[in-house]
Amino acid sequence: MKKLILAFAALSFVLTSCSNNENDITSEQSKIDMSDFYVYTNADVDETSKLTATKSPLKSCYTMVNLNRLLKENPGLEKKMYDIEYFTRQFIAGKKPTGTPGGGPGGGTTDPIVDTDGDGTPDSSDLCPNESGPSYNSGCPDNINDYTLTIPVVINIIEKSLGQITDAQIDSQIAILNIDFDNRNLNKPDVLETFNGLDADFDIKFTKHIVNRVTSNKKNWGTRDAMKFSSQGGIDATDPSTYLNIWVCEIGRGILGYAQFPGGPEATDGVVIGPDYFGETGGNYGHGRTATHEIGHWLNLRHIWGDGGCSVDDFVTDTPLSDGPNYGCPGETINCGTVDMTMNYMDYVYDDCMYMFTHGQKDRSRSLFTIGGYRYSFVD
């Protein structure tokens, strides 16, 4: 139903726009600056150095290493990711300002009133036609991208013996995801004053759809997606166009998890997490935030430091530049002339010390689910 309403709104918007000066549209599109876009990083070297640190191995997310591999194996992936990024920036540039921090760059335009009641006149009677879902007109309580999006999760468990990953552990992970993406983390009051007001509710609800289990004596599965194929002893993905697939298995080398960015091969789309870091298991990285972090990548978010020095960015306007990840539970940390947003879920700090996404990160992620967005097939 939401897709039908979204399509109707989009058609009405197009018809309205056609009466405007076409040069304005061309001008708006020409403002999309892609000069800073990049895909390849030094992650292969950086993550290896973390895992082989002389004193003690450091937390490692292998998402960017995985991306480098996929780019080499799939020649068309870079162009596909470029197109997704262009669409994302176009969406943010045209987003109506909300007056809240992180509302997106550019300023945008006022939403047109759509003739939703079919009386031939777009007027006040059309303002809030769909109180139970997304609404499209100025003055409505919900913006087209602010309704609650439900993402069903398929959990694929590869374990030594059946039941090694308990149902309670699974349920705790789903609960943690809903807390984090609903901006209800209990540690949030600790946010530095510098970042007050930047924390965002993603309006995303995760539900457990099904749990698949297989047993295996394989010591570890590595990071080349073997766990995602039954032909290699793993579990095939369940329709990645409508389900978020999470694989829980021993990755090896102390790697907590990795994800696939939008645009990668459909058969491997999803997130991989080590059993010790899935749900509530205890320890510094045992409170479910690895899944929050990796799903952030699945939602097109980069690491908070952009996987480079001060000259690169994570493509989010309300996250400060940084030159590298943070660890442990740091206090105020200054890099690149600004205070690091160490408590952001896309950094590397301990689970108890990360507790926020920003409005800019929300805008990036929600653009995937708009008409024409890469994950629009998730919209009911």
Catalytic amino acids?
294
* Amino acid in position 125: S
What does the DSSP assignment read for 231-254? GGTS-----TTTSEEEEE----TT
Q: Are 257 and 66 in contact (CB under 8 A)?
A: no
Q: State the DSSP code for 338.
A: E
Q: Are 312 and 298 in contact (CB under 8 A)?
A: no
What does the DSSP assignment read for 253-299? TT--EEE--TTS-GGG-SEEE-GGGSSB--STT-BSHHHHHHHHHHT
**What is the dihedral sign for C-alpha 88, 94, 95, 98?**
positive
Q: Cite the DSSP H helix spans in the chain.
A: 2-18, 22-30, 43-51, 63-73, 77-93, 167-181, 289-298, 359-367
Nearest Cα to 51, choosing from 65, 40, 41? 65
Q: Using CA atoms, how far apart are residues 307 and 287, in angstroms rounded to an integer?
A: 24
Q: Using CA atoms, how far apart are residues 152 and 102, in angstroms rounded to an integer?
A: 27
Cα 84 to chain centroid, rounded: 13
Q: Using CA atoms, how far apart are residues 325 and 166, in angstroms rounded to an integer?
A: 32
Instruction: Copy the structure tokens of residue 356.
Output: 């926020």
Place of tokens 């929300």: 362
3-class state of residue 138 by DSSP: coil
